Amino acid sequence: MSTVAQKQLLELSRQLPAEKLREVLDFVEFLLARTPMRTTRSAGKNGKTLRRYIGGVKHGGLASGIDDELYGRSVR
C-alpha cells in the first residue's frame, strides 16, 4: 500500500466512533484471512520447501534404515 493511502486511512479512521472502528478492523482481518500472503524468502520458491522435504521423507530418502536403528532389525 502506498504511504499516501496509509496516511489517508489513518486520518479517516481517527474520525470514526469506536464501534465503527471495530467494524473496519474486522473487515481488514477478513480481507487478510482470504488473501494468500507471500512467504518469506527463506521459505523457498513459491513456499514449497517444506512440502518438498515432506515428500522426500515420504519416499524413504531420509528414513532409510530407520527400522534397524529403532528396533535393531531390518524389515527387508
User: How many C-alpha atoms does 41 have within 13 Å on its Cβ side?
Assistant: 0
CA distance 67 to 75: 7
* Global confidence as pTM: 0.43
Residues 13 and 1 placed together within one structural domain of the fold: yes
17 and 43 together in one domain: no
- Write the pLDDT tens digit of every residue in 6-31: 999 999 999 999 889 999 999 988 98
Whether 32 and 43 map to the same domain: the answer is no
Q: What does the pLDDT average to over 35-59? A: 59
> Taking a C-beta distance cutoff of 8 angstroms, is the pair 26, 32 a contact?
no
Total domains present in the chain: 2
Same structural domain, 20 and 53? no
Are 2 and 28 found together in one domain?
yes
Each residue's pLDDT tens digit, 52-71: 666 555 555 556 677 777 77
**Same domain? 33 vs 57:** no
From the centroid of its chain, how far is CA 60? 27
Burial of 76 (0-12, 13-18, 19+ CB in 10 A): exposed
- CA 56 to centroid of chain Cα atoms: 21
Task: Give the structural domain span for 69.
Answer: 39-76
